[in-house]
Chain A
């Protein structure tokens, strides 16, 4: 059986070659590897930052560095880091998610948010509406979302940071509408009025997150974008950066942006994960990576991907002009900070769970 022997020989050789290719060591290079765990819509931004930072760091220190960024819903990513996913840096959608990593896994120093300028937020954003061409359902403001024939797309507040900003922006809108001014929140004499306004807001959110109104709750902002692009819903409550990216990518005329009367200032912070960089010996590179985001080059990149730069001095004027003026309130001013907002609204048994009836 000569042919058979040949056949077996060839098979053995082929599987040997395959095994060599599969297990063969990856090109063992001298480069330092950094893992950046980020939220869903930052893919394009960090793809560009990665290359620019590698170049700048090479010039500065002579060292080659490769930054790998993983993306998903912000809350989901935080949980993964808590469970042991060894991120050197985290660039998440909201401060609470990084704080949760500190509280539940003790991986960061307590003062993490004051270690970098602007509360460790190199860029900010806000929540606006993306509607289909010609705005056929005439959606102008938050109130229009509750019209019976309007379907809404938002990701899931349990897993997505953008969705939590959506939720809080809507809540703030109702408070502002009912109270006229956020100053009343601090006024003890208006306590009763504030309680009534909060009740109204809760009712608004209950209607907004009704399964008939919001049939799909994706895990992250990018998944929600794809859902909206696939034809579901009349309005997409989107990160400003994500909405502009959709406009840019799908050409003119398919979608339109609607700026509501008021929205929330969304502050996505960044942080070095102390315990991990100390274990990997990558603190120097990780800190340089985050600082790079604050350089004029990093800020320009953020603006080019439609994130509002925190330090616009070195950013070309035409990039700054693309941001439409939006009236924004801050989470500290209306909700008393993320820790409180998270506990009241999004933790298990919180208001979000209550209005969803779980």
Chain B
């Protein structure tokens, strides 16, 4: 009971809260109940459904040639989109946090555009631009390049949707770090690349990794935009939707793969969250190690 707390002792963790026990318990129960009902139960349901017909059916669903093809396509899309968005994200964050230039606010706002545009609309924009009847359609037709209803379109749509992830992660980090270290490096005679590789990049590496992981998770989980521009080849999310209408168990088996991806992302994310403050603390102490 808070009222009986001896004054001499330093308050232990949690004792600063003055609410009675039953309120604390009730709040915890509500939070856990919500978590269980809205997060854990659906997660569990995916696996229950996936294993409904046993291990063999599960493995058969995952080794189905179409599912394998979907896994490959998903990895391919991520393998193109994530590095491109990483390069862009670093460049944009670098420009925004280290330099002053006209149109900087506009750029910052534009980076956020994909967050506010619905993915379906993003997909439709690309159809409008690149479909045979679209703006660039006749030209693409002339050089025999297929974008819409083919893999390039899916990569473009994914690029658009996952555009802000790396940049958004880096901008606040780089802004908070300021430009003193870079200026010092310059004063000591370092060139541009040298500054980037030896000063800027080491400073942002964990934040960058964090952004890449989020970007990758979104790449692989994207549905709306790629669904509009997809053709015969399907990514994992589209494969789940297609299977859902034919074979529930297989659909949930593939869905369980995506769920596992989510869990791995979550674990990596937590690891990094633990790493980032540690790094900052080390720097604050003047620790300079490899």
Contact = CB atoms under 8 A, between A and B. Distances in A.
A222 B149 contact: no
Interface stretch (A17-25, A54-62, A179-187, A335-343): A17-25
B87 interface: no
Contact of A84 (B148, B232, B246): B148
A118 interface: no
B131 interface: yes
A223 B245 contact: yes
B149 A86 contact: yes
Contacts of B244: 226
Contact of A19 (B79, B131, B232, B246): B79
A85 B231 contact: yes
Interface in B242-258: 242, 244-246
Contact of B149 (A40, A85, A223): A85
Contact of B232 (A1, A22, A35, A82): A35
B132 interface: yes
B232 A70 contact: yes
Contact of A83 (B69, B148, B246, B290): B148
A226 B242 CA distance: 13
A68 B76 contact: no
A22 B69 CA distance: 9
Contacts of A222: 245-246
B245 A68 contact: no
Contacts of A82: 133
A43 B75 contact: no
A224 to B, nearest CB: 10
Interface of B is mostly: loop
Interface residues of B, number: 20
Interface in B262-290: 290
B114 interface: no
A83 B131 contact: yes
A105 interface: yes
B205 interface: no
Nearest to A27: B65
Interface in A1-24: 1, 18-19, 21-23
B127 A83 contact: yes
Given A35-B232, A226-B244, A84 B75 contact: no
Contacts of A84: 131-133, 137, 148-149
Nearest to A26: B69
Given A84-B132, A84-B148, A71 B245 contact: yes
Residue among B69, B79, B245 with the most chain A CB within 10 A?
A: B245
A6 to B, nearest CB: 16
A200 B146 CA distance: 50
B75 A18 contact: yes
Q: List 6 A-B pairs, minimum CB-CB distance, nearest first.
A: A84-B132, A85-B149, A222-B245, A83-B131, A84-B131, A22-B75
11 contacts: A1-B290, A19-B79, A22-B75, A44-B246, A71-B242, A71-B245, A83-B132, A83-B133, A84-B133, A84-B137, A86-B149
Interface of B: 69, 72, 75-76, 79, 127, 131-133, 137, 146, 148-149, 231-232, 242, 244-246, 290
Given A84-B148, A86-B146, 13 more contacts: A21-B72, A22-B75, A40-B245, A43-B246, A83-B131, A83-B132, A83-B133, A83-B149, A84-B149, A86-B149, A86-B231, A222-B245, A223-B245
